[in-house]
Chains A and B, each alone.
Chain A
Amino acid sequence: MMEMTYRDAIREALREEMTRDERVMIMGEEVGVWGGSYAVTQGLMKEFGEKRVKDTPIAEGIIVGAGIGAAMGGLRPVCELMTINFGLLAADMLINHAAKLHYMFAGQIKVPLVVRSVGGGGRQLAATHSQSLEVLFAYVPGMKVVMPSTPYDAKGMLKAAIRDDNPVLFIEHSLLYPIKGDVPEGDYTVPLGVSDIKREGADVTIVAYSRMVHVALEAADRLATEGISAEVIDLRTLRPLDIQPLIESFKKTNHAIIVEEDWRTYGIGAEIACQVYEQAFDYLDAPIVRCAGLEVPMPYAKNLEALAIPGVGDVVRAAKELVG
């Protein structure tokens, strides 16, 4: 094991997969000479050359479109969309093309494509650069949507995504890049579509993904000092969704809080809550609580932005009301 940042873990995954498989290549805005707008791909163009690390024009449609075509033609491209907000310009490519081709052409075409992007807010980038749009893509059969929360998961899941024969949207969080965690040396993968218990507990189940896992863990620490034992479940993959660990946890704790950075209405939490109601209604001691992003276009001002994104205090308060 060695300690590594989330950013470095993702770069290591890319480097190892490019070394392992000649077909793996990277393209996107500023991924090469610049080194990635979040410095994830730094050094890779120098190491692997301009054939395998391609700077593209600012044109999201063709970045993903060419990625899909290249994947059809035998490559395993990793396309970078600078942020998920710009990913909307490629939404047609992901939703109408990448997610459909294998089915619509009865298995004749495969799209082993990874699209890496950055979601979420918290950096004062205002309304069009701070969104959590994962639900738009997780909604679509044929897509896989991955949102790891730790360096260990980020590296293992990106490697699994690159080796997967399906289109995978891999959404990172800019506030996670500097966080550190243990990462094994050498090759390993973390399977897509498997939720993970990040902390065991008995009184309340807190469900989260991406950066909100850390908010949930910090809340669990605080709750522990007040005698409330929280179990934290990290969804890790939004589609295909692995609901079972959460159902099992809920059957034990009978209380659930969902922490999500996206908007509450029609959000990920709505789906999670519904599945819990459908599968474990008899175990319900109280309504499921959602700590979600406020339903506003993200404001720029620091204080307003902080209020709009769920924080540790929100989760602690919700848990105390629920089981206190």
Chain B
Amino acid sequence: MRPNADRLILMYRNMVLIRKFEERSAGFYREGKIGGFLHLYIGEEAVGVGAIAALAPQDYIVTHYRDHGHAIARGLDPKALMAELLGRSTGVAGGKGGSMHLVDVSKGFWGGYGIVGGHIALATGLALASQYQDENRVTLCIFGDGSTNIGYFHESLNLASLWKLPVLYLCENNLYGMGTAVERASAVASMAEKACAYNIPAVRIDGMDTLKVFDATQRAIEHVRSGNGPYFIEAMCYRFPGHSMGDPERYRVKDEVDRYKQRDPIVAFGKQLEGDGVVDEADLERIEREVAQEMDAVASFADASPAPAPESMYDFIYAQSGTH
């Protein structure tokens, strides 16, 4: 079922919000206000927004370190997200996690994870908890093409299929694991084929097309929610910037990047909505303006927020037991 006009506009707005959030965070990184690694989601917005729009409120998300777009698509507060990137006490993890470890469990967003592939196992376990407790809940597990070569991926898919766990595996195939092209790292050209090895139904879709991602995810969710076990989606996409800030990009040519930029998923989705009469050009311009204004507020909130207090150093090493 296609989303109604309001939802379509919200999806478009989220894509613009992701793009501008990423541009702003790149700016903060260059200013030295964001430390560590910074992996931008620019170019892949259609995957995160299209897939996450198909989830129900009770569903879970577990994702990888390129997690800003997924967090925004799920409705996490951009102010608290940006504050986390800046390592401030108002951040979603109080400045303890940073860019790769965004979280808001109250929204079913169980975190971004920086150990490639490890979170695939955690997502599989969350799905086990949902099945065990008979919850009507699907866990969406998002990962890149690179992690399909890791042991965890295979152990997880095998177990999920064996136990019919309610988990939807979404592979964002952006053609490169860091700087290594898929065909130089994987003996199998299509990641979806790997799912077949574990008897998991799989589709390969155009991840630059928001509504195609939405449709495929909706169908997959229905399959999983009905108790049929896991499902696998391989979304073909492309990241416009490098792997992370400071990537010398020796592994791909400018022509290739430009070719994909011609297929910018935000422009394409805007045109589609215009063509379908959902919005007109003025609406798109207004959204652009509003989001730019929101980002100003996000950036000033984050930048004005205090660093965590030194006394918070030892908070949360252990959970205080007693809730059992």
Contact = CB atoms under 8 A, between A and B. Distances in A.
Interface of A: 21, 25, 51, 54, 56-57, 59, 61-62, 64-76, 92-93, 96-97, 101-112, 141-142, 144, 163-166
B123 A105 contact: no
Contacts of A144: 318
A166 B132 contact: no
Interface bracket on B? 35 or more
A65 B126 contact: no
Contact of A101 (B111, B132, B159, B323): B111
Interface string B118-155: 10111111111110110000000000000000011001
B282 interface: no
Contacts of B320: 165
25 contacts: A59-B158, A62-B124, A65-B118, A65-B120, A65-B121, A65-B155, A66-B125, A66-B159, A68-B121, A69-B62, A69-B121, A70-B132, A72-B125, A72-B129, A74-B129, A74-B133, A75-B128, A76-B324, A104-B93, A106-B97, A106-B103, A107-B319, A109-B103, A112-B319, A142-B317
Interface of B: 60, 62, 92-94, 96-97, 101, 103-105, 110-111, 113, 115, 118, 120-130, 132-133, 151-152, 155-156, 158-159, 162-163, 315-324
Contacts, number: 149
Given A106-B94, A108-B105, A109-B111, A65 B319 contact: no
A103 B317 contact: yes
A14 to B, nearest CB: 16
B94 to A, nearest CB: 4
B316 A62 contact: no
A59 B321 contact: no
Nearest to B141: A69
A61 B121 contact: yes
Nearest to A69: B125
Contacts of B129: 69-75
A70 B320 CA distance: 19
B125 A108 contact: no
A71 B129 CA distance: 8
B125 A65 contact: yes
Closest 7 CB pairs of A and B: A69-B125, A65-B121, A73-B129, A62-B155, A66-B125, A165-B319, A106-B94
A106 B96 contact: yes
Contacts of A57: 155, 158-159, 162
Contact of A105 (B97, B155, B322, B324): B97
B152 A65 contact: yes
A106 B316 contact: yes
Contacts of B133: 73-75
A141 B317 contact: yes
A239 B101 CA distance: 26
Given A66-B124, A72-B125, A96 B318 contact: no
A55 B62 CA distance: 25
A61 B128 contact: no
Contact of B128 (A21, A70, A101, A142): A70
Nearest to B324: A163
B122 A65 contact: yes
B159 A73 contact: no
A142 B94 CA distance: 18
Nearest to A79: B125
Given A66-B128, A165-B322, A165-B324, 15 more contacts: A25-B132, A57-B159, A57-B162, A62-B121, A65-B152, A66-B156, A69-B125, A71-B129, A75-B128, A76-B324, A103-B315, A105-B101, A105-B111, A165-B323, A166-B318
